[in-house]
Amino acid sequence: MTRRVLALVAAALLVALALWYGQAPPRSSEMYRKRAEETVQAMRSQAQVATFWLRAASAGRVTREAATVGIEDAEGDAGATSAEFAGWDPPADLVGLRDEVTDAGDDLTDALADVRIAAHHGQWGRLSEAAGQLDPLADRLASLGTRVREGGR
């Protein structure tokens, strides 16, 4: 019985440490760069998801209601992803990287908010134009991710 309790306590501690590690702020320049790259890739994915929903709705493959929910989810996820990264203090040598990633996140969330508002107003003709704005943002995020991975800014 004691072994079982000890095993459960050890497992609970391991899970708690894993969760903390996943949420803990990065402490080194290397870890900050890694988190920046992960953030940029997640935001790129969110831009692509919104574009998928816009194009699928325009082609009649999904309902406008489903597309609206998908767009809302992408906007919320992009905002949360960007805000989490912005909340971490960068190492002194990476302040510029923080600015670049958070600026890209702000641009993405602004664009997704415009898309969401247009969808809520039923302006579906305008949304194909919005999808065209998300593609360059996704490309910008991909480029930023590559530069971060390669050690540049």
- Residue 20 has what pLDDT? 43
The pLDDT tens digits for 72-124 are 999 999 999 999 999 999 999 999 999 999 999 999 999 999 999 999 999 98
What is the reported pLDDT for 18?
A: 42
Looking at residue 13, its pLDDT comes to 46
pLDDT digit string (tens) for 118-153? 999 999 888 777 778 899 999 999 999 999 988 865
With a cut of 80, say whether residue 8 has pLDDT above it: no
Residue 75 Ramachandran class (φ > 0 left, ψ -120 to 50 alpha, else beta):
alpha
d(CA 86, CA 90): 9
Structure tokens at 97: 């990287």
**Fold held by 28-149:** Four Helix Bundle (Hemerythrin (Met), subunit A) (1.20.120)
Segment holding 54, helix H or strand E: helix 29-58
Q: How high is the pLDDT of residue 131?
A: 76
Give the pLDDT band (50/70/90) at residue 71.
very high
Q: Structural domain boundaries of the chain?
A: 28-149
Contacts of 128 (CB under 8 A, 6+ apart): 54, 55, 58
pTM (two decimals): 0.80
Q: How far apart are CA 58 and CA 68, in angstroms?
A: 12
Q: Phi, psi at residue 4, to the nearest 5°?
A: -65, -45
Q: Which residues contact residue 89 at a Cβ distance below 8 angstroms, ignoring those fewer than 6 apart?
A: 25
The pLDDT value given to residue 16: 43
Higher per-residue confidence, 59 vs 15: 59
